[in-house]
Structure 1
Amino acid sequence: MTITRNIDSAATPRDSATLNKVIFIKLMPLLIAAYILSFLDRTNIALAKHQLDVDLGISAAAYGLGAGLFFLTYALSEVPSNLIMHKVGARFWIARIMVTWGLISAAMAFVQGETSFYILRLLLGVAEAGLFPGVMLYLTYWFGREQRARAIGYFLLGVCFANIIGGPLGALLMQLDGVWGWRGWQWMFMLEGLPAVFFAYVVWKKLPDRPSKAPWLSPAEAEQIERGLAAEQDEGAGQGGHSLKQCLTPQIFLAILVYFCHQITVYTVIFFLPGIIGKYGELTTLQIGLLTSLPWIAAAVGAMALPRFATTPQRARMMLVCGLLTMAAGLGIASLAGPVLSLMGFCLSALMFFVVQSIIFLYPASRLKGAALAGGLGFVNSCGLLGGFVGPSVMGMIEQTTGNAMNGMKIIAVILVLAALAALRLRQGHERKVPKAEAHGRRQVV
């Protein structure tokens, strides 16, 4: 299927600021909506945790393992998925990802015990693999480095919105308990999984593979965007940036280490916060869902307000380090305080979740290009996402062993401090080439 161009080819190209605004308006709502559906489907088991234990005998340790198994197959499939997207185009591949993950997520309604729970979580990881690094790659086709952190921040709003609406929505769906003989958690999995299948058609119809395929850009505008981005990638990656070996450098591994620690934090909070809040007192499922959404409102505020300031390498590094330390401080408060201050601590930590994540991906993108960029972004995300396996798995064992999930939060706070120290040594590829005075003089275009 070919998207037909409807822009007058003779029209005068719009300026860069106007083009960036048009791109944001045309692309970001689609990508954010896809990520909302993605996160609803990968994390809705957090609300079903208690019911899975009661109905199927899935213990806290088994739940933690199942929550984490998603990330094993997800991580293993990231690089090949991104390389395929580089070949076949974003429109087809993202639509394919959405169809398969939606069907498998809906199939979670038919879980019978630990074995089927593990199998479906593993399959969900394979199905959804490639969405996040695929979008990170896709954004390099449209945005320069000064706008990309902001674009990533907006994309990550999908996680925030999913967790803001996911708790109350999941709680409401679980109130269908008993309808047609199904349990509430079965309705939740089914009714949150199928929308991804239908939205895949919207992606197929509306998402252009790159500027030259966008019907709302003139040929001159598309050429201007693609030529400018190619020059920027050449500047940062140098002569060796096309080689997959460029993914195996100290700076890439340093970015992976920081991202790994970040992902341990985010997914531990996602999968265990509802259970922690549930122990604050006598709360209904809906009340737990509403309170769970508060830290994600803070995360949305951070994602919208802060990444736009990461316009120079120095400023980006400072924001990255401060963000990691803020996350650590928030979890420290949460692990030591009473219910009210504890929830405020989670909110403080969440404020920086996606500020940090939007900046981390600037580093590999500034050093790679071509197939190496596609594979490198998948490699960074897959290695980092192993933290999504380690965090929930270890937290489940700590909770079952000590009876207190907050002990795990203290350990994660220390890990984040170490990550902040490591982040001090991160450098973007073009830092060694751009004069300091010029770098400080750059300003955000959008």
Structure 2
Amino acid sequence: MHSKTQEMSQVERSAIAKVSIRLVPFIALMFFINFLDRTAISFAGPNGMTTDLALTTAQFGFAAGIFFFGYIVLEIPSNLALHKYGARRWLARIMVTWGIVALLFTWVSSATELYVLRFLLGVAEAGFFPGAILFLSMWVPARHRNKILALFYLAQPLTTVIGAPLAAMLIQAHGAFGLEGWRIMFFGVAVPAILVGIIAWFYLADRPDDAKWLTQAEKDWLNKELASEDKIKAAAHGGMMRIAFTDGRVWLLSVIYFGLIYGLYALAFFLPTIIAGFEAKFGTKFDVFDKGLITAIPYLPAAVALYFWSRDASKRGVKVWHIGIPALTGAISIPIALYMGSPEATILVITITACSIFAALPNFWAIPSRFLTGPAAAAGIALINTIGNIAGFAAPYITGLVKDSTGVYELPMFIVGGLLLLSAILAFSLSGRVQEPVTAAAK
């Protein structure tokens, strides 16, 4: 008996290790390119685009946010299509499509064209993020899922750590091929999406049975664990799609996610512009590459915080305070950031905010799969992401609109703080309303 238990433990370890090495880094790379392409506008804006296209701050915010209109409309249909046709084909299709649209930003010539392309980019990207979450949940049992999601989510802060200096380098190539630097940057970040999307078609596998790199014992273990979890959740009606729309927990999670995403995108789209404003506010002088490096500063500690906070959540099991405490910390820190008396102090407080948001996000996504399975998981995860991503439009547009009205960023940041506070309160209210992940011991 002991030998059999030990053997199964070895199979479990090897199966999870192979999934972690073979699938997670590649899906994280796709997410890295995804987040870079959707936020590339934040680097282009203060580095020539707003001037060349004669954009106000509100127009820039609207252009950044209109991406989420198309994204929201097609989010749930896209995720259901992924569930029906398989992740390999659907994620590859999404990536190549958005890469082609992203490439067209190289030649945008007016605010109207910018709005149209941002909307189409959202249409093209619709379903990628919840699809990636769903894909990983179809490969990894619940007790390992939080660690896997944390590794996946590391791609998001690292996108800015690597992407901001990379974008700055591309922008500094101003004049090459007769193009402005910001246009070269758009071209440079779009091409990898097309290439990696094509590779994904051949590289990914839809389910363990399709993975030639797993042994039969590892396939059997994964299939048994995942089927057992689905059976338990389905017995509680988790497999019925309608529960995704009628379960109050799904809507509560949607509101929590709205606040977190509002903070994420207010930071992502306007931090480069805020840093560009240091020159007028503090009398500093930075070149394009310096600004790229400064933009990256908050995100490296955020990646570290994400890793260690999620590691603690993996050891204890995700608790509501793994979401609530970071949200509360972000709510307190972000409004006071712009009252600091130096660039260094401002970036320090913004770093605390970035750490808070990124610490909460991967732990948040460990919650829905505890009570949703099958089509309900596809619809529920997409619904949460859809409602939450309304903030993707609201954050940049409202931030830009209020900035134009008041002339400063202080009030928009208080709005961010208020929504993060709401997320914190609602996260704590989840206590006792979502079950712990199913473990072998529990079975």
Query: Identity, % of aligned pairs?
Result: 33
Cα pair 2:36 2:163 within 8 Å, conserved: yes
Question: Using the alignment, how far apart are the partners of 1:86 and 1:318 within structure 2?
Answer: 31
Q: Shift in Å at residue 315 of structure 1?
A: 4.6
Q: Shift in Å at residue 312 of structure 1?
A: 7.7
Q: Is 1:111 matched with 2:114?
A: no
Q: Is 1:259 matched with 2:257?
A: yes
In structure 2, do the counterparts of structure 1 residues 302 and 350 end up closer, same or farther at CA, with 3 Å as the change threshold? Answer: same
The partner residue of 1:203 within 197, 200, 204 is: 200
Deviations 1:289-323 (A, max 9, x none): 10000111122112222212224887521211111
**Structure 1 residues 228-243: aligned runs within 5 Å:** 228-243=225-240
**Structure 1 residues 76-155: aligned runs within 5 Å:** 76-155=73-152
Give the equivalent residue in structure 2 for 1:273: 271
Deviations 1:206-239 (A, max 9, x none): 2111111111112332121122122123324534
Report the more deviating stretch, 204-213 or 383-392.
Answer: 204-213
Q: Is 1:52 matched with 2:49?
A: yes
Mark the runs of 5 or more structure 1 residues left unpaired by the alignment. 1-11
Deviations 1:21-60 (A, max 9, x none): 1210111110111111111111011111131221111221
Q: Is 1:66 matched with 2:63?
A: yes
Give the equivalent residue in structure 2 for 1:214: 211
Give the equivalent residue in structure 1 for 2:282: none
Deviations 1:266-289 (A, max 9, x none): 000000001111122222111111
Give the equivalent residue in structure 2 for 1:384: 388
The partner residue of 1:288 within 274, 291, 297 is: 291
Cα pair 2:317 2:436 within 8 Å, conserved: no
Give the equivalent residue in structure 1 for 2:3: none
Deviations 1:346-388 (A, max 9, x none): 1111112232111222222111111111111111111111111
The partner residue of 1:246 within 223, 243, 247 is: 243
Cα pair 1:108 1:117 within 8 Å, conserved: yes
Give the equivalent residue in structure 1 for 2:370: 366
The partner residue of 2:18 within 19, 22, 32 is: 22
In structure 2, do the counterparts of structure 1 residues 325 and 429 end up closer, same or farther at CA, with 3 Å as the change threshold? Answer: closer
Give the equivalent residue in structure 1 for 2:186: 189
- What TM-score, normalized to structure 2? 0.92
**Structure 1 residues 263-412: aligned runs within 5 Å:** 263-281=261-279, 282-311=285-314, 315-338=318-341, 339-412=343-416
Q: Shift in Å at residue 430 of structure 1?
A: 6.0
Question: Using the alignment, how far apart are the partners of 1:35 and 1:59 within structure 2?
Answer: 30
In structure 2, do the counterparts of structure 1 residues 313 and 277 end up closer, same or farther at CA, with 3 Å as the change threshold? Answer: same
In structure 2, do the counterparts of structure 1 residues 320 and 116 end up closer, same or farther at CA, with 3 Å as the change threshold? Answer: same
In structure 2, do the counterparts of structure 1 residues 396 and 316 end up closer, same or farther at CA, with 3 Å as the change threshold? Answer: same
Q: Shift in Å at residue 135 of structure 1?
A: 0.9
Cα pair 1:330 1:349 within 8 Å, conserved: yes
Q: Is 1:42 matched with 2:38?
A: yes
Report the more deviating stretch, 201-210 or 332-341.
Answer: 332-341
Give the equivalent residue in structure 1 for 2:4: none
Mark the runs of 5 or more structure 2 residues left unpaired by the alignment. 1-6, 280-284
Letter in 2 for 1:46: S
Deviations 1:97-124 (A, max 9, x none): 1101111001011111111100000000
Aligned residue for 1:352, secondary structure, equals: helix
Cα pair 1:237 1:429 within 8 Å, conserved: no
In structure 2, do the counterparts of structure 1 residues 115 and 15 end up closer, same or farther at CA, with 3 Å as the change threshold? Answer: same
